[in-house]
Structure 1
Amino acid sequence: MENVIIEVIESKCSHYKAGDKIYIKDALIDMDKTENVCIMALQSFFPFIFATRKGVTPEQMGFGERLLVQCPDYCAPVVFEIKKII
């Protein structure tokens, strides 16, 4: 399977707190494990889900050791880390 976890690293948003997770199972959001998926936040990590699922590393995508993205809502920023689950 090609599973990805998106974890909140820091948040100033009322929808997320540090440690919250969004689980991707193959090409679907696993809603049994995931609490919230904000459509604004989805924009920040959506482009990286497929690459992460296919094993492309953060370094190969131009990031450092960690793939960190920020929600585009600058009034209530949330930082997410995207990781492949092995």
Structure 2
Amino acid sequence: MMEDHKVKVVVTQSDCPHYAVGDEIYFTGACIDTTKSAKLCMVALNAIYPFAYAARRGGSVKPTPVQCPDCAECVKFQVMLDE
């Protein structure tokens, strides 16, 4: 069985009313830790999912911003392991 790593996603830029710079979203295994996390919309989840999944499974996550595909309200996220 593969080890699950904890993952943190941080908002680094936001023109969206749902996010502020510095908001954090935490994943523990396959689930969002709702006790520690900012809200997460479905469109943003679609953007960060492949990177959060790779980090969770131990893959390399380079420090590259991930942008939400909602063009009208740009949000950029940074996906990293939660140490």
Is TM > 0.5 for Structure 1 vs Structure 2? yes
* Identical-residue share of aligned pairs (%): 36
Q: CA RMSD in A?
A: 1.2
Report runs of 4+ in structure 1 exceeding 4 Å deviation.
Answer: none
> Counterparts of 1:51 and 1:36 in 2: how far apart (Å)?
21
- The alignment's TM-score, normalised by the length of structure 1, stands at 0.86
Distance (Å, rounded) in 1 between the aligned partners of 2:38 and 2:59: 26
Task: Give unmatched runs, 5+ long, in structure 1.
Answer: 59-64
Is residue 45 from structure 1 mapped to residue 48 from structure 2 by the alignment? yes
Aligned to 2:77: 80
Contact 1:5 1:82 in 2 (8 A): yes
Instruction: Tell me how far apart the structure 2 counterparts of residues 8 and 36 of structure 1 sit (CA, whole Å).
Output: 11
Shift of 1:78: 0.2
- Alpha-carbon deviation of 1:19? 0.1
SS in 1 for 2:80: strand
SS of equivalent residue, structure 2 residue 50: helix
Alignment match, 2:17: 14
For 2:16 and 2:28, how far apart are their aligned partners in 1?
25
Letter matched to residue 52 of structure 1: A
Query: How many positions carry a matched residue from both structures?
Result: 80
